[in-house]
Amino acid sequence: MFGFLKKKESDSVSAPATESSEAPRSWREKLFGGLARTRAQLGGRMRSLFARGKVDDELLEELETLLLTSDVGVEATQYLIDALKEKARTEKLETPEAIQRALAGTLAELLQPLEIPLSVETHKPFIIMLAGVNGAGKTTSIGKLAKYFQSQGKRVLLAAGDTFRAAAREQLLAWGERNGVAVIAQESGDPAAVVFDAIHAARARDIDVVLADTAGRLPTQLNLMEEIAKVRRVIQKADPTGPHEVLLVLDANIGQNALQQVKAFDSVIAVTGLVLTKLDGTAKGGVVAAIARQCPKPIRFIGVGEGIDDLRPFTARDFADAIFA
């Protein structure tokens, strides 16, 4: 039976992590802390390069190597180096601080087109479908997004479309209980049917936002990719205007492999935005620059921690500053 399922006392699935009793940090502080590994890999080593105080061929060659080994990618690396050359010529960069500011500004300019906040005001209910590979953090991201939209005064409903992994359903139920939102789920069955039912329930309950989970899958699993395409088609049957957003959740630890995932999922379900998770656990945050050059989908949200408030909209300038601070 479809409907809101309560979590059983005997379930072994752990609830979402509780918040720390420490004084809350601002989002900018969390972002800077979360990107510490990427900053150590990229920004810290760059400062030693810039210490010579001038942009010459030796610096540019070493910078190219550093960017390429930090998952920035070939196209983005060339863009950043060419821009730094031009700024060095026109702005007479002669101090380490000036070179660092110039590169941070160039990175922010590169990332700016990805900074497109997600608005859910255009439809009601606004249907958001989430996809990604196993372990990317889809279900956890849904729980955090529910809290985010609630903070904007929106009524939220969750659809447990991952019907293959019982732990995913139970995890989503735990998030629903924590956030005080309904979860449409069933013990097993067709994920498309769960999402279809959730959309109709959302209309009946005057819901603003539907967050639809789907099972993790690899792009090479063709039968599962066809299944997720079916989920998208069924959403369109329930609401011809939907889904209004198709978010691909990417684990930042995978670096350059993120590009292949974006292209593969986009070809099947028409990805409209990205959620980049686990930036706090990786030194590969430079992949954001590669995304900007090779598959520029809007980065709607980034995650830099396990807390319920640690998933926030992407801001290009803050991201660039956090890397080169």
Q: Which helix (H) or strand (E) holds 127?
A: strand 126-131
Tokens coding 143: 């729980």
Strand 299-303 relative to strand 311-313, pairing: antiparallel
Q: Which of 29, 24, 20, 36 is nearest to 279 (CA)?
A: 36
Q: Which of 169, 202, 227, 242 is nearest to 11 (CA)?
A: 169
Domain spans of the chain, in order of start: 28-114, 119-314
Length of the chain: 325
pLDDT at 125: 97
pLDDT at 282: 83
Q: Apex CA 179: angle with CA 207 and CA 188, to 5°? A: 75
Query: Helices 257-269 and 287-294 meet at what angle, rounded to 10?
Result: 40
CA dihedral (191, 140, 158, 164) in degrees, to 10, reads: 20
Class at the top of the CATH hierarchy for domain 119-314: alpha beta
How far is Cα 107 from Cα 76, in angstroms, rounded to an integer?
9
pLDDT at 237: 96
Strand 245-251 relative to strand 273-277, pairing: parallel
pLDDT at 198: 96
Decide: 275 and 133 in contact? Cβ < 8 Å.
no
pLDDT at 12: 34
Q: Name the E strands within the chain.
A: 3-4, 126-131, 156-159, 182-185, 209-212, 245-251, 273-277, 299-303, 311-313
How deeply is 61 buried, as exposed, middle or buried, from its count of CB atoms within 10 A (0-12, 13-18, 19+)? exposed
What is the mean pLDDT of each successive set of 10 residues along the chain, which is 325 residues long?
39 43 70 85 77 85 89 93 92 86 93 96 97 92 95 96 83 90 86 95 98 90 91 96 97 91 95 94 88 95 89 93 82
Superfamily of domain 28-114: SRP54, nucleotide-binding domain (1.20.120.140)
**Is this prediction's pTM over 0.75?**
yes
